[in-house]
Amino acid sequence: MILGNVRTASVIRYPYLWVRESEKGETEGRKSRPVAVGVRIERPHGDLLLLFPVTSKEPQQGRFAAEIPATEKRRAGLDAGMRLWLILDEYNTDIVGQSYYLEPDPPLGHFSKAFFLPLVREFVARRKSLKGVNRAG
């Protein structure tokens, strides 16, 4: 699996495993959902992907999340009629070519740099206080 057209800010479908589910011992995402590729880092044995979930459930107060504007939903191949949020205070990591979960399907779409990069910069600034789930095989 190459996933060559998946890059930073791509939106793909992925069985995201929430941190709260992982902490309860679950090992599989309950459903495939849209996720944004926060970053794709080239590595010799498979590129590392950092994945942020998209949800229709309004985040609780105090979560690091951003409501996705209609224009960005259309660019990303998401339903522009639904309220959707990008969650950035947790993430999954996975490895291209070693993953049991990444499918070779093309991305649904992409977020613009103007929308996405400021969020990723803020994620980097907060990264030490955030939690992730390593899904690499």
% of the chain beyond a pLDDT of 70: 98
Task: Answer whether residue 1 is part of any domain.
Answer: no
Task: Answer whether residue 103 is part of any domain.
Answer: yes
Task: Answer whether residue 88 is part of any domain.
Answer: yes
Structurally, how many domains does the chain consist of?
Answer: 1
pLDDT at 1: 43
pLDDT at 25: 94
pLDDT at 35: 98
Task: Answer whether residue 104 is part of any domain.
Answer: yes
Distance CA 12, CA 35 (A): 6
Average pLDDT over residues 8-15: 96
101 is in which domain, residue-wise? 10-134
Nearest to 13 by CA among 109, 93, 123, 114: 109
Residue-averaged pLDDT of the chain:
94
Task: Answer whether residue 72 is part of any domain.
Answer: yes
Task: Answer whether residue 46 is part of any domain.
Answer: yes
Question: Phi/psi at 88 (nearest 5 deg)?
Answer: -125, 5
Average pLDDT over residues 79-101: 95
What is the tens place of the pLDDT at every residue in 16-49? Answer: 999 999 999 999 999 999 999 999 999 998 899 9
Task: Answer whether residue 2 is part of any domain.
Answer: no
